[in-house]
Structure 1
Amino acid sequence: MANLVYYVAATLDGYIADRQHQLDWLMNFPLGDDATPYDEFYQTVGAVIMGAETYSWIQENSPEAWPYAYVPAFIVTHRSLSVPEGQTITLVQGEAADIAAQAREAAKGKDVWLVGGGKTAAMFAEAGELQRLFITQIPVVIGAGIPLLPVSKPVSLKPVTQKVLKSGGVELVYDVVVG
């Protein structure tokens, strides 16, 4: 079965964006050639899930092209959002288990990338639908912003790998422990 993987960068103090939903702290940080290549990770992905705020941010900040054009995308929302023509983008709402099942089926055996944001990832984690975290921790402290995983109950993690990068960033991979 395909895993739901929350692949994201976060500050040392646990934020994925600042209060204005900006990523300047990340864009100004060179990871270096020893970081896991994005393309290598993306090859394992058969579908993506994201929340409405993440989707809107991507639409505003990547106007030239939808970055997930080669995989089906599921946008968790209660709002009516515009969808670019010709893209496999489905607006969904409901239970995390149902959305995860739909995305896994569309992924055809590959993993499902839970792109974000934090509240969406927390929804899947709390429902027991998140299997793996792949966090690139950036040595920057911003003090406040959008939390990495704002769960309302503890989520236990089992370390899989840890890699300190020459840049000072740290790649952390954890399996989510269920039960």
Structure 2
Amino acid sequence: MADLVYYVAVTLDGYIADSDHKLDWLMAFPLGDDATPYDDFYRTVGAVIMGAETYSWILENSPEAWPYANVPAFIVTHRSLSIPEGKNITLVQGAASMVAAQARMAAKGKDVWLVGGGKTAALFAEADELQRLFITQIPVVIGAGIPLLPVSKVLNLKPVTQKVLKSGAVELVCDVVVG
């Protein structure tokens, strides 16, 4: 069965974006050639899930090209959002388990990337639908912002790999332990 993987960069103080939903702190940080290449990760992905805020941010900041054109995208929202013509994007709502099942089926055996944001990732984590975290922790403190994973229950994690990069960033892959 395909895993739901939350692949994200985070500040040392636990934020995935600043209070204005900006990623300047990340864009200014060079990871270096010892970081896991994005393309290697993306080859494992068969579908993506994201919340409405993340979807809107991507459309605003990448108006020339939808970055997930070759995989189905599921946008968790209660709002009516516009979808660029010809894109494989589905607006979904309902239980996290139903959305996860729909995305897994569309992923055809590959993993489902839970793109974000933090509240959307927490929704799936709290429903025991999140299997893996792939976090790149950037050594910067921004003081406030959008939290990594604002869950209301304890998540037990089993480290799979941890790599300190030459840049000072840390790549951490953990499995979520259910039960």
TM range (shorter): over 0.9
Aligned position for 1:100 = 100
Residue 15 (1) aligns with residue 15 (2): yes
Instruction: State the shift of 1:137 in Å.
Output: 0.1
Equivalent residue letter for 1:174: C
CA distance in structure 2 between the aligned counterparts of 1:121 and 1:59, rounded to whole angstroms: 19
* Structure 1 stretches lacking a partner, 5+ long: none
**Helix, strand or coil at the partner of 2:162:** strand
**Helix, strand or coil at the partner of 2:151:** coil
Instruction: State the shift of 1:126 in Å.
Output: 0.3
Instruction: State the shift of 1:42 in Å.
Output: 0.2
Aligned position for 1:53 = 53
CA distance in structure 1 between the aligned counterparts of 2:43 and 2:20, rounded to whole angstroms: 31
Q: Give the structure-1-normalised TM-score.
A: 1.00
Alignment of 1:57-68 (within 5 A): 57-68=57-68
CA distance in structure 2 between the aligned counterparts of 1:144 and 1:151, rounded to whole angstroms: 17
CA distance in structure 1 between the aligned counterparts of 2:44 and 2:159, rounded to whole angstroms: 20
Q: CA-to-partner distance for each residue in 1:32-73, whole Å, 9 max, x for gaps? A: 000000000000000000000000000000000000000000
Instruction: State the shift of 1:115 in Å.
Output: 0.2
CA distance in structure 2 between the aligned counterparts of 1:102 and 1:84, rounded to whole angstroms: 21
Residue 32 (1) aligns with residue 32 (2): yes
Equivalent residue letter for 1:56: S
Equivalent residue letter for 1:69: A
**Helix, strand or coil at the partner of 2:154:** coil
CA distance in structure 2 between the aligned counterparts of 1:152 and 1:142, rounded to whole angstroms: 23
**Helix, strand or coil at the partner of 1:171:** strand
CA distance in structure 2 between the aligned counterparts of 1:137 and 1:127, rounded to whole angstroms: 25
Instruction: State the shift of 1:150 in Å.
Output: 0.2
Aligned position for 2:146 = 146
Q: Give the structure-2-normalised TM-score.
A: 1.00
Instruction: State the shift of 1:97 in Å.
Output: 0.1
CA distance in structure 1 between the aligned counterparts of 2:85 and 2:33, rounded to whole angstroms: 35
- Alignment root-mean-square deviation, CA: 0.3
**Helix, strand or coil at the partner of 2:25:** helix
CA distance in structure 1 between the aligned counterparts of 2:80 and 2:39, rounded to whole angstroms: 31
Equivalent residue letter for 1:169: A
**Helix, strand or coil at the partner of 1:157:** strand
Runs (4+) off by over 4 Å: none
CA distance in structure 1 between the aligned counterparts of 2:124 and 2:166, rounded to whole angstroms: 32
Instruction: State the shift of 1:21 in Å.
Output: 0.2
Instruction: State the shift of 1:129 in Å.
Output: 0.1
